[in-house]
Amino acid sequence: MQTSKKSLFDFAIIGAGISGASCAYFLNRYGQKVVVIDKDKVASGGSGAAGAFLSPKICSNSAYTAFINEAFEFSIKFYRDNFDLHLDKAGILRLLKTELDLKKCKLGEEILPKNFKYLQPKEIKNLKKEACKFGGYFFKDGAVIDSIGVIKAMLEGIDVLEALHVEVLRYEDGCYKIAGIEAKGIILCVGNSEDFEELKFLGLKDIYGHRVDVKSATKLPFHMHKSCSISASRDGIIHIGATHIPNYKYLIQKDFKKEIDDMLELAKSYLDFDGFEVLDIHFGKRNSTSDFYPVLGKVINAKETLKKYSYIKKGSKVPKEKYEYYPNMFVHSGLGARGFVVAPKTAEILAKNICDDGQIDKRLDTQRLFLRYAKREVLI
């Protein structure tokens, strides 16, 4: 990483978490000159606070589950091929909560990633018997990524500007102008949905999560997840994480000691800890969409599009090519709690769309959320 000394870029990427780093990495591979800008520092938000468990989705045979598991396989290969030193490849055990979970998983095994095995309760070692009542699925390729380390590695050789809070996107003479630099295009990879008015139509929901680093002599040889995630033990350190606190609760409550205590008690119900000293608590915000799929693509000028085609509010269809868009502005956001799983795949899709006219799946593009926004406007 380095502070930017250039003045003209193909793209300025706002946000230096896993979303922004992934976009910068793939655009750089396409030969684009990019600068990454963050109002604090690299990986200072939700990405730096994440447990960064690379885990598949189970207990469902839905299209969303299939998408997550495709992204899981993509990301595992991506990190192994490019950033293997930052990957803890201990495998991950997904414990089942109920008999119904077991039935659902058995029915949906065809969309699970390869290299998995169902373990019966008697086959599971190291965990409390009650935690393993319904067995679990062990994924050999499951892993934990060093969140801060991998983001910094992805941004190596790419210009970075830290401690620069971009509040207004000024577009003049074919460029976005930000603090002495110019960029032909911009990509918003922000974890705070309130940062930019241009993204209001997406209806992003903020979610807060936390990770607790614990010192313990307990030896856990694999990563695991049930209602919270517990990492394999490394040098006497175990990471415990969860993402589940909605924005409205944060704004009202502010203090989450009880939630953290509850999470730690939950972890203790799964694993007999030999000593338990809390070393650090990390807390960060990320965002999600209403349908949980990430969102990527051109940023629609929702106000001007509805002014031009007001009948969209009544359900009339208008080809998205005719929408009004902010000039050369894109978004890559709404990654939710699985940011390190989905970011590499979706960033590559966006880079192909920008540089090679690749298509964006309609489940991921901005149009789907714009149409929902238009319907909401009718009700206001």
Give which of 239, 11, 24 is closest to 151, Cα–Cα: 24
Query: Strand (E) positions, the chain?
Result: 2-3, 8-14, 34-37, 53-54, 87-88, 92-95, 116-119, 136-139, 143-145, 159-161, 171-172, 175-178, 181-188, 205-215, 223-225, 229-230, 237-246, 277-288, 295-300, 325-333
* CA–CA gap between residue 363 and residue 63 (Å, rounded): 10
| 3 state SS of 160 | strand
Average pLDDT (221-248) is 88
pTM above 0.75, yes or no: yes
Residue type, 31: G
Using CB atoms within 10 Å of the CB of residue 346, give its burial: 0 to 12 exposed, 13 to 18 middle, 19+ buried: buried
| 3 state SS of 322 | helix
Place of tokens 């750089």: 28
Residue 193: the pLDDT is 56
* CA–CA gap between residue 305 and residue 153 (Å, rounded): 40
Give which of 345, 321, 323, 343 is closest to 333, Cα–Cα: 343
* CA–CA gap between residue 131 and residue 265 (Å, rounded): 13
* CA–CA gap between residue 58 and residue 79 (Å, rounded): 22
Average pLDDT (362-376) is 94
Place of tokens 């030969």: 31
What is the maximum span of the chain, computed from C-alpha positions, in angstroms? 68
19-31 tens-digit pLDDT:
999 999 999 999 9
137-178 tens-digit pLDDT:
999 999 999 999 999 999 999 999 999 999 889 999 999 999
- Of 128-132, 135-139, 194-198, the least confident: 194-198
61-78 tens-digit pLDDT:
899 999 999 999 999 999
Q: Identify the structural domains of the chain with CATH numbers, from first to last.
A: 2-46+150-204+290-379 (3.50.50.60), 87-148+207-285 (3.30.9.10)
| Ramachandran angles phi, psi of 11, nearest 5° | -140, 140
Q: From its phi and psi, is residue 43 left (phi > 0), alpha (psi between -120 and 50) or beta?
A: left
CB distance 334 to 294 below 8 Å? yes
* CA–CA gap between residue 231 and residue 221 (Å, rounded): 9
Retrieve residue 280's tokens.
Answer: 């650090």
What is the chain's mean pLDDT, rounded?
92
Residue 232: the pLDDT is 97
Residue 380: the pLDDT is 47
* CA–CA gap between residue 161 and residue 159 (Å, rounded): 7
Helices and strands (H, E) in the chain, number of each type: 10, 20
Query: Strand (E) positions, 232-324?
Result: 237-246, 277-288, 295-300
pLDDT at 249 over 60: no
- Report the share of the chain in percent with pLDDT over 70: 93
Residue 378: the pLDDT is 59
